[in-house]
């Protein structure tokens, strides 16, 4: 899978005729996520107070689609350095309470 994605990415970069491209290096061994298993990957839908710099507002509500809510570690712009499970659970609980208290009574933007 890693070899396929690397080759496909290189093919796309060549077709785009980008001004900068990194030549894929030789693979010494198959990719393994073992080295990353304690990093608790986060991000992808970062929470923020500005739709220009974040995906969702402080309640996990999409800036672009108000009836889409995101919860979980994807809300964090980066990992704090330790297991995020407690924070993920607390954030999910807080978001659901806001959705129940305000959004379900009057669907629309919460911020």
Give CA–CA dist 58/48, Å, rounded: 6
Give CA–CA dist 83/72, Å, rounded: 13
Task: Catalytic residue, from 6, 10, 13, 40: name it.
Answer: 40
Cα distance from N-terminal residue to C-terminal residue, the chain: 42
Q: Please say if 40 is a catalytic residue.
A: yes
Token pair for 75: 């809300």
- H-helix or E-strand containing 96? helix 85-98
- CA 53-45-85 angle, to 5 degrees, is 125
Question: Which residues form the catalytic set?
Answer: 40
């Amino acid at each position: 899978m890693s070899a396929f994605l690397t080759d496909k990415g290189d093919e796309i970069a060549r077709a785009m005729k980008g001004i900068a491209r990194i030549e894929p290096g030789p693979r010494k061994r198959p990719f393994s996520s073992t080295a990353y298993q304690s990093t608790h990957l986060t991000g992808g839908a970062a929470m923020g107070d500005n739709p220009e710099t974040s995906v969702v507002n402080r309640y996990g509500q999409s800036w672009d689609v108000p009836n889409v809510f995101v919860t979980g570690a994807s809300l964090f712009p980066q990992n704090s350095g330790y297991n995020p499970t407690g924070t993920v659970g607390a954030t999910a609980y807080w978001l659901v309470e806001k959705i129940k208290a305000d959004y379900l009574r009057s669907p629309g933007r919460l911020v």
